[in-house]
A and B are shown apart, each in its own frame.
Chain A
């Protein structure tokens, strides 16, 4: 059980990189970006092919995974901004296309990384630490670096224009920013992170699978809402940007812990996607319903007085 939990934590941190990408589009840009399902698998497939078929260094493979994800996000962005396809449809079109593209890249539906070095096996060899600990520590360092970079970026002039785009497009255009560019940029960065996470997960589980991205967007959204609910319980209510990013990664870890627990309790792994969807629905609908009930209660109180 303990081992399962440790595995869940390190898995949660690696997936947390993907969740940060989803956070950029979903929370900062107000777009639920369906590309994620495809670009996560794309990152995994590109990474696997780079490691196994091309025999490249695992770090270079990771870079390729990131670039591939960025390209996928850029395509979605162009479909959405230049051709004015609604954001959700643009994402779905990219996602569907990526299924075929990913199969083309791998040439088969999965690629094992058994015979090649990964970033994790490299660190294990160099330090002599056990694989599970390496995967946990490395993931942690990696996530901290990504959060720091994102925090810095969204504090720059471009980053702040990007945040404003999700807030008030009319204003941003009136202030001289082309919102088409900021949207494409945000989708590119977000999917670069997703592709990167796909590559990381591929190296950590030592295989890439055509279906590894299926439901990734739901996992991302579930992790975000879990992180936000937890954030609301902290004294500061998490209004500052850096704690919000950290909460997103924590949400991802908690999601995978919940997942590990229910799997241990004997739930079928295939039911997990249903559970993720239920978590998202609950998190999104509870505030709406409670507000409506609150309004009704307030009215009755007023009437009685």
Chain B
């Protein structure tokens, strides 16, 4: 489904703020894989996700989605393959537009937009049913402006929007990091439900080791722009937080002590 080969990216090349972010990342996801990504600050997790989404061009390597080389495609051109949820709940939705309008915009991801009406009656019914699944009472508020919703509600809505049209790959970039623990747990539960029910191939960045172990069938650990550890299936299910901490130190040495603090 997704293949990364030798992806490299350096920000601000040739200036004093030059920052190598990805130093050759290779990764392959099969259809239906749910991969969690962990790593300290500056490990390159978000940069990897943004490279896949085409937010910026990469310096080297190839990105293949569903058999198509998308390395040179722009962000909007890649959107047909990707559902995305960002860390900031404000980034995934349009605040001044209605809930149903947001969903209708998302439902046309990767399709040609024309002069047809932006939301049909059948769609409205479909959205009502889908919103009911979230269990947040949004199904009665289709015409409300999204700006009236809480961060958790907005994030749940973004998740639903990202899953419309069954994207080939779902990219979750620390999508629960800005939420309070209770709301984060709820959004994570919805994430699992939506991913399982739609059989979505998923790449989820998280700072929470417990979630990284609990969710998904594969786990990768990044450090200094590289994937340093990978585990899947049975082995992953048996993993403990202590194992991951050990891996961290083994792979990266004592210099990552500060990261360890952050990840605890």
Q: Does B associate with A?
A: yes
Chain A residue at smallest Cβ distance from B53:
A174
Decide: A161 and B97 in contact? CB cutoff 8 A: no
Known: A158-B113, A158-B114. A171 touches B76 (CB 8 A): no
Interface residues on B, range: 20 to 34
Q: For the complex, what is the distance from the CA of A284 to the CA of B32, rounded to whole Å?
A: 52
Q: For the complex, what is the distance from the CA of A215 to the CA of B93, rounded to whole Å?
A: 36
Q: For the complex, what is the distance from the CA of A160 to the CA of B100, rounded to whole Å?
A: 12
Known: A155-B117, A157-B108, A157-B116. A167 touches B76 (CB 8 A): no
Chain B residue at smallest Cβ distance from A178:
B76
Q: For the complex, what is the distance from the CA of A156 to the CA of B104, rounded to whole Å?
A: 11
Chain B residue at smallest Cβ distance from A168:
B94
Q: Mark B78-115, 1 if CB is under 8 A from A, else 0.
A: 01101010100011111111000100111011110111
Decide: B91 and A168 in contact? CB cutoff 8 A: yes
- B118 interface residue (CB < 8 Å to A): yes
- A277 interface residue (CB < 8 Å to B): no
Decide: A178 and B92 in contact? CB cutoff 8 A: no
Decide: B114 and A156 in contact? CB cutoff 8 A: yes
Known: A155-B118, A174-B79. A160 touches B109 (CB 8 A): no
- A176 interface residue (CB < 8 Å to B): yes
Minimum CB–CB distance for B75 against chain A, Å: 5
Q: Mark A146-169, 1 if CB is under 8 A from B, else 0.
A: 000000010111111101100110
Known: A157-B118, A158-B113, A158-B115. A173 touches B105 (CB 8 A): no
Minimum CB–CB distance for A160 against chain B, Å: 4
- A170 interface residue (CB < 8 Å to B): yes
Q: Which residues of A sit under 8 angstroms from B101, Cβ to Cβ?
A: 160, 164
Decide: A174 and B94 in contact? CB cutoff 8 A: no
- B192 interface residue (CB < 8 Å to A): no
Q: Which residues of A sit under 8 angstroms from B82, Cβ to Cβ?
A: 174
- B150 interface residue (CB < 8 Å to A): no
Decide: B117 and A173 in contact? CB cutoff 8 A: no
- B196 interface residue (CB < 8 Å to A): no
Q: For the complex, what is the distance from the CA of A155 to the CA of B118, rounded to whole Å?
A: 6
Decide: A157 and B113 in contact? CB cutoff 8 A: yes
- A177 interface residue (CB < 8 Å to B): yes
Q: Which of A156, A173, A174, A178 contacts B118 (CB 8 A)?
A: A156
Minimum CB–CB distance for A180 against chain B, Å: 9
Q: For the complex, what is the distance from the CA of A73 to the CA of B176, rounded to whole Å?
A: 41
Most buried by A among B90, B92, B96: B96
Most buried by B among A155, A172, A175, A178: A175
Q: For the complex, what is the distance from the CA of A167 to the CA of B145, rounded to whole Å?
A: 12
Q: Which residues of B sit under 8 angstroms from A161, Cβ to Cβ?
A: 105, 113
Q: For the complex, what is the distance from the CA of A173 to the CA of B115, rounded to whole Å?
A: 19
Decide: A173 and B76 in contact? CB cutoff 8 A: yes
Q: For the complex, what is the distance from the CA of A67 to the CA of B95, rounded to whole Å?
A: 33
- B198 interface residue (CB < 8 Å to A): no
Known: A168-B91, A171-B91. A159 touches B96 (CB 8 A): no
Q: Which residues of A sit under 8 angstroms from B79, Cβ to Cβ?
A: 173-177
Known: A173-B79, A176-B79, A176-B109. A167 touches B115 (CB 8 A): no
Chain A residue at smallest Cβ distance from B147:
A167
Q: Which residues of A sit under 8 angstroms from B115, Cβ to Cβ?
A: 153, 156-158
Decide: A164 and B94 in contact? CB cutoff 8 A: yes
Decide: B93 and A171 in contact? CB cutoff 8 A: yes
Q: Which residues of A sit under 8 angstroms from B111, Cβ to Cβ?
A: 176
Decide: A171 and B109 in contact? CB cutoff 8 A: no
Known: A157-B116, A158-B114, A163-B97. A175 touches B75 (CB 8 A): no
Minimum CB–CB distance for B124 against chain A, Å: 14
Q: Which of B74, B94, B95, B118 contacts A159 (CB 8 A)?
A: B118
Q: Which residues of A sit under 8 angstroms from B84, Cβ to Cβ?
A: 174
Minimum CB–CB distance for A156 against chain B, Å: 5
Minimum CB–CB distance for B227 against chain A, Å: 24
Q: Mark B119-136, 1 if CB is under 8 A from A, else 0.
A: 100000000000000000
Chain A residue at smallest Cβ distance from B77:
A176
Q: For the complex, what is the distance from the CA of A163 to the CA of B77, rounded to whole Å?
A: 20
Q: For the complex, what is the distance from the CA of A98 to the CA of B219, rounded to whole Å?
A: 59
Q: Which residues of B sit under 8 angstroms from A179, Cβ to Cβ?
A: 76
Q: Which residues of A sit under 8 angstroms from B109, Cβ to Cβ?
A: 175-176
Q: Which residues of A sit under 8 angstroms from B77, Cβ to Cβ?
A: 176
Q: Which of A155, A167, A170, A177 contacts B113 (CB 8 A)?
A: A177
Residues of A within 8 A of B (CB): 153, 155-161, 163-164, 167-168, 170-179
| 23 pairs, A vs B, C-beta closer than 8 Å | A155-B118, A156-B114, A157-B108, A157-B114, A158-B114, A160-B105, A164-B94, A167-B94, A167-B95, A168-B90, A168-B95, A171-B92, A174-B53, A174-B79, A174-B82, A174-B92, A175-B105, A176-B77, A176-B80, A176-B111, A177-B76, A177-B79, A178-B76
Closest 3 CB pairs of A and B: A176-B79, A160-B118, A167-B94
